[in-house]
Structure formats: C-alpha cells, structure tokens
Structure 1
Amino acid sequence: MTISPLSALPRVRMLGRHPQGGPAPLFYTAAGFVCRFTGSELHLHLNAGFTMYEPWLSVELNGAWIARFPVAAGESEICLFRGMTPGVPKTVRVLKDVQAMHDDPAHFVQITGLSAPDGEFLPLPAPACRLEFIGDSITSGEGALGAQCEEDWVSPFFSAVDHYARMTADALGADWRIVSQSGWGLLSSW
C-alpha cells in the first residue's frame, strides 16, 4: 500500500491549526482529520515522541467512538478499520485527545499519511459554520475521563470526544477547532 500524505488528499479535511504540506502536526486538543472513504480498510501513519506524557488519539467511525489509544514513540501504523464493505462510504474522524503537554518538551504527534488497499475519498459536506473554542483546562478536555476521585495530571484523563466543544460543534453541524492549554486563562493563569 502506498502512503499518501494528507497534503496530497484534498478530500481529507484537517481539523485544528496546521501548516501546509509535510507531516501534519497535531498540537492542540481535537486536532486531527475527518474524511469519507469507500475502501474496506484504512491505515493511519504516525510519527510521535514523548518522555512522560504520551499522545492519545480517538477514532470515530460513522459517528460512533470506536477506539482510543496512546501513540507509541517513533513511527507507527494504525489500522483504523478493516473488513468493511467496499464501495460503501464511511465517515472517519481522528482526534488528538490531549493538549500540547508543556511539562514534556519531547511530546509531539504527526500524521505522516494514510494508506489503503482499495477505495476512494469522497467529498465531505460543507460545514454549516465554523467554531473556535478558546480556553484552559476544561477546553483542553482535562478530567473528561477517569474515575471521579482521580487527581493525577496525566494524559489518559484528557478527551476530545467526551467534550463539550465536540458535542456543541456536532449539534450545529460545524467545523471546529480548539486553542487551549491547562492553566492558561485569557484573564489570568495559575
């Protein structure tokens, strides 16, 4: 299978803020992509690094949250789905669950491409509107997952899916992005 960079796939919509061309860095919470694809399987190619706070990604298929996983350091290939009916359009959304982790300067994740043995990317419907959510820990998804008693500040407890911004954007049919960092308020910080 040939790996195609996202910049070569105009029908794949990037989510979040990204430079043009090259690997797509996922910096803020909810950075990622969405696409409609007709193939029987689809693979995501990543490059990542961290010292302590691994990046976590979530995968949605046809509107359902089907997977959540930490990304291994180095280059990796993740099968997003396999064995599905060829020719039937599937909507896939991949989101970074965690913010940029300022306590771990080595923390990063990049999408280096997508690959599939068959299928084509279809046009996505135009969003009804575009939203940008700006905030601190709540907007970063901190504490959205985990037991109620948890107080540790670790990346598995962040979520971009179980999140008010995603729910709001989906209810409005909006394209959305998040600019946020825990502890960095617009008026004051901790």
Structure 2
Amino acid sequence: MGLGFWLTSCKPTPPLQAGQTYLPISHADVRLIGRWSQSDQTPPEASWPGFAVAVEFTGRDLSICLRDEGNYYNVSVDGQQTAVVGGKKGKMVVYPLASGLDGKPHRIRFERRNISFDKPTALLGFVLNEGAKLDKAPERARIEFIGDSYTVAEGNESTRETLPWLEKYPVTNFRRGFASMVADALDADAIGICRSGSGVARNWLGDAKNSMLDRYDWTQMETADGGRWAFSESPPILVVICLGINDYAGLKNKQGIVNEASSAEFRDKYHQLIAKVRSHDPDVPILALAPHVEWARENTQLVVSEEAAGHRGGVYYAQFDRFPGGYVSDGHPTVATHRKIADQILAAIRKDRILPLPAAIGEP
C-alpha cells in the first residue's frame, strides 16, 4: 500500500489486552472503497461520504483503529448490519467490529454514515486476537454518484423537521440513501462524490468557488491539498450526476426565476463536468439525474440533448419526483423517500437499457 515509511515512523498504538495483537494498516490486506489518499508519509485518509473498508476476517475478535473527528459508521458482518459506532474524536479511536466469532472466514465492512466538513479520517490499523488473520474482501463493480445533500442522504433517519448540523451526524446514513440502494441492486459499491450545499456551477448561496466541477477530481472533499485523484482503478460501470437543487437556490432571483444567462452558465458547467468524467473514463455511461425542481429538469434535459447533438453519446436523462410528506431534517428525503427515488432511477436504467438489471428490479 505504499506505507513503508509511515510504519517505520509509527505514531500511536492502541492499548492491548492479553491475547490481542495490533496490525498496522501497512501490514493489513484490506479493500479500501471510495477515494483514499495513500503515501509513505501518512496512513490512508478519506473524507468523501460513504467511504468504506472491507476485509475477510478469520478469527474471533476484531477492532478498527482510526484518527477521527467524531463521525459515525455502520458495521456489517456477512452483509448484515450488526452495529452503529461513532462519536469519538482523537488520534487513536478504537471501535469493535466483531467479537466471539467462530474462527471461520467472515466478510466485515466498516462504512462512514455521515458527511463531515472536518479533517479526513485516517485508517491506522486493526486489533485482533492472536492467530487471527485479515484478507482482502473480493472486489465489486463501482457506481459513482456525483451529487449534493440528497445524494449524501443527509438526515435521512431523522424524525425531526429541522435540527442543528452536528445533530445530523448520527441520523445520516449513506447506506440507506438512494445511491447505495441503486448500487446494491446492481451488486456494486456506491462511490459518493457528493457534498451538501454544492452544485455544478454555484452552491446554495450563489458562490461559484469550489463547485462540484472543481472538486470532482479531488482526492479529499474539502481541499485540493489532498492531491488529485489518480483514477487508476478500473472505471465505474456507471456515473450518476444528481445536481441542480443548489444551483437553482444560488442562481434564482427573489421571484424564484433564473435568467437565461445564469441557466446557460449551469448548462455550460454541466457539460464541462461530463467532459471531465469522460476524460478519465471515455466509455462510461452517464445518467444525468434531475431533481424535482422544474428549472433543473428543463436545463438538465437540454444538457443531455446538446450532448447528443454534439455526437457525444452515452449520456442519459432521468428524473425523480417530490413525494409529499416524505422529508425531514431541513427538507431532506426520509429513508422511505430515498427508496422511491432509487426505484425511479432503476426504472430509468431498465427503460434506457443503460445496464443489465436482474429480473423484476426497475420494473413498474
């Protein structure tokens, strides 16, 4: 993993009990899901929503060691969620992943639930019982989702109409958002390149700086200092772009109208984002997914038509509806609403034959 120097200058280690051993990440064979920075100077770091670690564990007890800023995580064993952990800050945070297993191989997944604008999370290593071992979990196909707080699944498990930002952490669950639902239906990992408040041209306050067009090839969500993503993995089987709600909020006037010059700016930036995706993955199908905002639908449809007119194929249009009563946490979809959105996306994938779907998935 290119972490030899970091190991030799090894920083914190967790407290161990009798019969336990610490396995630094440089000695662990794991599958990192999402965008992780890796170098000889630092442990792997990640910050985009939904990043995950997947291992095949043969042993009895396993814990994970992080440097973290109080985020929340899902733990699953053999595909079944077993715990939610989180809320701790520190240079050495330890969370249990499994205990009392039967010593046979089990697939364990550790996945970020929430979005955070704080420093990236660092994966330091694992604590396991003596004689246990880690192997890399099998690879899966990947679907990349470029989006905003809807794609993040911000606040989707909340029951309150509004709540402060930090209180959204434990009630945000990327795993129960439409991105993961669609990816799971296609036996793929959802790679979240999504950020609350952002658009392709403007954020929700109208600021054009560091839009999703700018951030798309960043390794870390909040800063270009984390380096550019290498795009060295096998390409995703699909890229879904779901932007427009924040652009509309940032571009509209007091009457709720976006003038043609601003609409043209949105379309131009959208074309640039498609071109940037294609510069790395020339043949990947792209689904331009419009939200329920009519302006976003009209202009996203224009983008898709203009791509086709320019003989740039493989860009498809889909949209999702607004579902009355299905929103919490300052206007964000509930888990049930995410399910409805996912079903509309899968129906569009089936209708346009973008990807093969298992029987019955995506059918009306």
Please indicate the TM-score interval, normalised by the length of the shorter structure: 0.7 to 0.9
Provide the C-alpha distance between the structure 1 equivalents of 2:135 and 2:120, rounded to a whole number of angstroms: 29
Provide the C-alpha distance between the structure 2 equivalents of 1:126 and 1:36, rounded to a whole number of angstroms: 12
The equivalent of 2:25 in structure 1 is: 6
The equivalent of 2:54 in structure 1 is: 34
Count of residues in correspondence between the two structures: 179
1:67-126 CA deviation, whole Å, 9 max, x = no partner? 11223111222221111101x11111111111232xxx5x54322111211322235333
Task: Indicate the percent of aligned positions where both proteins have the same amino acid.
Answer: 27
Matched, 1:115 2:133: no
More strand, by proportion: 1
Provide the C-alpha distance between the structure 1 equivalents of 2:185 and 2:24, rounded to a whole number of angstroms: 30
Q: Is the 8 A contact 1:5 1:23 kept in 2?
A: no
Structure of larger gyration radius: 2
The equivalent of 2:170 in structure 1 is: 156
Provide the C-alpha distance between the structure 1 equivalents of 2:187 and 2:59, rounded to a whole number of angstroms: 25
Q: Is the 8 A contact 2:38 2:45 kept in 1?
A: no
Q: Which runs of 5+ in 1 are unaligned?
A: none
Provide the C-alpha distance between the structure 1 equivalents of 2:180 and 2:43, rounded to a whole number of angstroms: 24
Q: Is the 8 A contact 1:45 1:114 kept in 2?
A: yes
Output the amino acid matched with 1:175.
D
The equivalent of 1:55 in structure 2 is: 71
Structure 2 residue matching 1:170: 3-state secondary structure: helix
Deviation at residue 39 of structure 1 after TM alignment? 0.9
The farther-off stretch of 166-175 and 77-86 is 166-175
Provide the C-alpha distance between the structure 2 equivalents of 1:123 and 1:70, rounded to a whole number of angstroms: 24
Deviation at residue 134 of structure 1 after TM alignment? 0.8
Matched, 1:76 2:93: yes
Output the amino acid matched with 2:97.
L
Deviation at residue 16 of structure 1 after TM alignment? 1.0
Provide the C-alpha distance between the structure 1 equivalents of 2:107 and 2:147, rounded to a whole number of angstroms: 28
The one of 58, 73, 80 aligned to 1:64: 80
The equivalent of 2:327 in structure 1 is: none
Provide the C-alpha distance between the structure 1 equivalents of 2:135 and 2:66, rounded to a whole number of angstroms: 22
Deviation at residue 161 of structure 1 after TM alignment? 1.7
Output the amino acid matched with 1:91.
R
Provide the C-alpha distance between the structure 1 equivalents of 2:151 and 2:24, rounded to a whole number of angstroms: 29
Q: Is the 8 A contact 1:135 1:181 kept in 2?
A: yes
Q: Is the 8 A contact 1:44 1:79 kept in 2?
A: yes
TM-score (norm 2): 0.46
More helix, by proportion: 2
Deviation at residue 4 of structure 1 after TM alignment? 2.4
Output the amino acid matched with 1:16.
G
Matched, 1:186 2:200: yes
Q: Is the 8 A contact 2:157 2:172 kept in 1?
A: yes
Q: CA RMSD in A?
A: 2.0
- Choose between structure 1 and 2 for higher RCO, CA contacts under 8 A separated by at least 6 residues: 1
Provide the C-alpha distance between the structure 1 equivalents of 2:193 and 2:173, rounded to a whole number of angstroms: 14
TM-score (norm 1): 0.84
Deviation at residue 9 of structure 1 after TM alignment? 2.1
The one of 39, 45, 59 aligned to 1:25: 45
Output the amino acid matched with 1:24.
P
